[in-house]
Amino acid sequence: MMLTAQSRSTALSSEIQHVLKVRAPEIITGGRRKLMSKRSTSQVKAVIQSGNNKKTTNLVEKLVSSGKSGNLDVRAVITLRKKMKEKITDKIEDQWESFMNGIGRGILIQLISEDIDPVTKSGKIAESYVRGWLSKPSDHPYIVEYAANFRVPRDFGRPGAIIITNFLDKEIHLVQIVVHNFNEGPIFFSANTWIHSRKDNPESRIIFQNQAYLPSETPPGIKDLRREDLLIIRGTGKGERKLHERIYDYDVYNDLGNPDKSEDLARPLIGGKERPYPRRCRTGRSPTKTDPLAESRIEKPHPVYVPRDETFEEIKQNTFSAGRLKALLHNLVPLIAATLSSSDIPFTNFSDIDKLYNDGFELNDDEHSQKNKFLSDTLDKVFSVSKRLLKYEIPAIIKRDRFAWLRDNEFARQALAGVNPVNIELLREFPIVSKLDPAVYGPPDSAITRDLIEQELNGLTVEEAIEDKRLFILDYHDMLLPFIGKMNNLPGRKAYASRTLLFHTSRGVLKPIIVELSLPPTPSSPRNKRIFTHGHDSTSHWIWNLAKAHVCSNDAGIHQLVNHWLRTHACMEPYIIATHRHLSSMHPIYKLLHPHMRYTLEINALARQSLINGGGVIEACFSPGRYSMEISSAAYKSMWRFDMEALPSDLIRRGMAVEDPSMPLGVKLVIEDYPYAADGLLIWSAIKEYVESYVEHYYSEPNSVTSDVELQGWWNEIKSKGHPDKKDEPWWPKLVTKEDLSGILTIMIWIASGQHAAINFGQYPFGGYVPNRPTLMRKLIPREDDPSYENFILHPEFTFLASLPTQLQATKVMAVQDTLSTHSADEEYLHQVHELQRFSVNDHEVLRISERFCAKLEEVEHTINQRNKDNRLKNRSGAGIPPYELLLPTSGPGVTCRGIPNSISI
């Protein structure tokens, strides 16, 4: 039967109402927001109400046809992670979360197609709430799964992004979303991110699928989302950051002091023309009342802001907290002694030090009853657990040979295979001359003379030894002398600026031959320098050991403030900030760098709060004291260059390697038995090969590097905002070719992984025994005309120990070094890159590249193990010598003195 025009109109109207109610929001969509989806429905209504029957008929037929031709029933599985340790309130919140999701009012999921909707000119959208009365338990006790069901038209296209709106009252940790029933098979959206509650921020979160796209290749339906997500991450540069936010921005180090608390805790701003420095992550706190240029501090236990996903996960937090508890317990006995006696106490004999490892400390009831109110709660907690909690593990350096630290060859060996193997240099010129202003710092020539050197060279002249590349130097003179006068005015600090000359013998062993210790010039002593050599009588032997201890103190300070903090932690921070601000999470370079950025901003924030701050552990326990960060800034100004952070370039700069095209990396070591360099070059080579293959995969087309707008913005911002005090230096690499890009990325990944591992995880194994590596010295070396000289002659051991850190200072440092040397149970190591890439990149070629990298690292580990068994390599094998394992890629948890994490995570 033929329908009349009116009946046809009525039928159409009925069908229209059905489609508008059920199907239109799914078929003709309005882009990203629910509001825009409603606007598209309104557009359909407007077409109908316009009276244009032809247009109305076409539109309705399109909708009806789509509905009748079949739809896809799509299911999204949402994986969330719960807390490991839940309080009662957490459990109640979990039940509420389950209820809200059950009634479909907890989490809104919107699928965004890679295809453009022709009406809205943006990605097609389908939405659904997570539903289900109870979450589905998984095999993992802390993982739960929910589901969201969608009905989408068959021409919806492939989902390229998901928008999540969290209507719950608390944030959730989203592990991943897997979308099923599309023709391509399951589509993965790896997240591992915190999703804030809408009550904290009405903005929804964008999660992109596990597919890497260069900016120019971004599917049209998600191009706008890519730009919008980056804009959100950058923020406005204004206001105080809140803990739930994920805003990445830059600031100077203006939060280290606390002038409102005490004038003694005021510290100068670090970063700027006067004191240049890399930038940190901006927190935006209000200025102090005392100094408008200083940012107010947040003290422990309150957290310092870092973007939400940069914070420690729970396993890591528990490991770090356990370390902090250990630090408290280890410091407890000296703290009690200091509190009750109003003075700190030195070690009086070596047995005092041995007790830290053998017996620990035990407080008896009398001591317990004498505790003051300030310590009452802490002691109660300790004694409720055990009386023997204050015991340290025996450090590796004395575990095999308790007297190794005394020997000259061990002192020299640690310059090549210790925790700070990056300061030794080849001596290339003689005489040794300072670059400091002679009008201020006295005559520039060193007091180390030709005659003194040649007495130790077994018949060689200085010129012959230099030509044969057998003289080396540890030179801290110019870096420290400008600060020595101020440092020595601090209570309990006495330091020199040191130079140490070492000779590489014909037997292939390095030995120290001369130590020069300098003080600032005075009117009566314009050349205020002292020379020490290893003697052959008891007096000169003890004096020589005191001189070496002063060198170790210099070395410990420069290691911590320059090589460890500045060159790895602080310099990596702006690379991470720029990566988030300019490279979309879809960008292949973001995906490459992402494993190497984990936890770094959090550990740096904790360092600003407790370690490098005014009155923090570094100032309290290292020679530079309150001038620590000023020394770090001076080193950045005088010697830091991005291009020289490449391992081969650094070795050549220090004269420890020479260019040799016949060698695999174009360099040949001057000392073959240089464990840090030999093993480091293996790791460097593996990273370089991996990065080059990865970059070639994505940037094979001509001009693809220069045309990548995100990449160019990233590199420009690293220089202009991350390192603005050096932005105009000519040595910054260009970013024009894929070779340029590979070189830049290799440096960054090396710094975050191998370089940091080599100078971090040996801190307790080498520094845990105070005489081996004192972090400060409290007395100058006695002269014969000093009143203290007679006491030195009578009690040389006491004089030596009294010059070292006090028991309180030593145990503080040991506790911190123990924590910093500890791998957490959730550590992600360099050899696990393949597994991490599987979850973030849907590209078989990238997975093959990652597999080859991991296989290469297995070869490296085998090679290092074989080297450690080679008795010809005296710096890594022999009686009492611990093997050099700091650059072995793998490790278990704990203090292992081995293992290369992907990132600076501690």
Six token digits for residue 349: 């004999």
Cα–Cα distance, 651 to 628 (Å, whole number): 26
The first and second tokens of residue 470, run together, are 């057998």
Euclidean distance between CA atoms 246 and 237, whole angstroms: 13
Among 116, 184, 127, 250, smallest CA distance to 573 is for 250
Q: Is 268 helix (H, G, I), strand (E, B) or coil?
A: coil
CA distance 84 to 556: 38
Q: What SS3 class is residue 733?
A: coil
Tokens standing for 808?
Answer: 């309180």
User: What tokens were used for 49?
Assistant: 């109400």
Question: Would you call 564 a catalytic residue per the annotation?
Answer: yes
Between the alpha carbon of residue 97 and those of residues 464, 499, 631, 793, the distances in Å are 77, 64, 51, 74
CA nearest 453: which of 478, 470, 441? 470
The residue annotated as part of the active site, out of 166, 331, 563, 760, is 760
Angstrom distance (rounded) from CA 658 to CA 678: 13
**Which pair of structure tokens corresponds to residue 356?**
């830290």
Decide if 899 contacts 905 (C-beta within 8 A): no
The C-alpha torsion from 452 through 453 and 457 to 458, rounded to 10°, is -10
> What pairs with residue 126 in β-bridges?
111
Q: Which of 196, 330, 564, 723 is catalytic?
A: 564
Whole-number CA gyration radius for the chain: 32
Q: Is 667 helix (H, G, I), strand (E, B) or coil?
A: strand
**Tokens coding 807:** 């028991």
Q: What is the 3-state secondary structure (H, E, C) of 741-756?
A: HHHHHHHHHHHHHHHH
- Written in H, E and C, the secondary structure of 496-533 is CEEEEEEEECCCCCEEEEEEEEECCCECCECCCEEEEC
Q: Is 760 labeled as catalytic in the residue annotation?
A: yes
| Residue among 798, 779, 803, 807 nearest 338 (CA) | 807
Cα 866 from Cα 883, distance rounded (Å): 11
* Token representation of residue 428: 């290339």
Cite the beta strand spans of 53-171 per DSSP E. 71-81, 107-116, 123-129, 131-137, 143-153, 159-166
- Per-residue tokens: 645: 């952070």
Which two tokens mark 1? 């039967």
- What are the CA-CA distances from residue 784 to residues 546, 798, 801 (Å)? 15, 17, 19
Asked whether the beta carbons of 655 and 428 are under 8 A apart, the reply is: yes
Tell me the CA end-to-end span of the chain in Å, nearest whole number.
80
Catalytic residue among 504, 756, 823, 831: 756
Instruction: Verify whether residue 541 is a known catalytic residue.
Output: no
Extract the tokens encoding 222: 């998600």
Backbone angles phi, psi at 388, to 5 degrees: -125, 70
**Catalytic positions, please?**
564, 569, 756, 760, 906
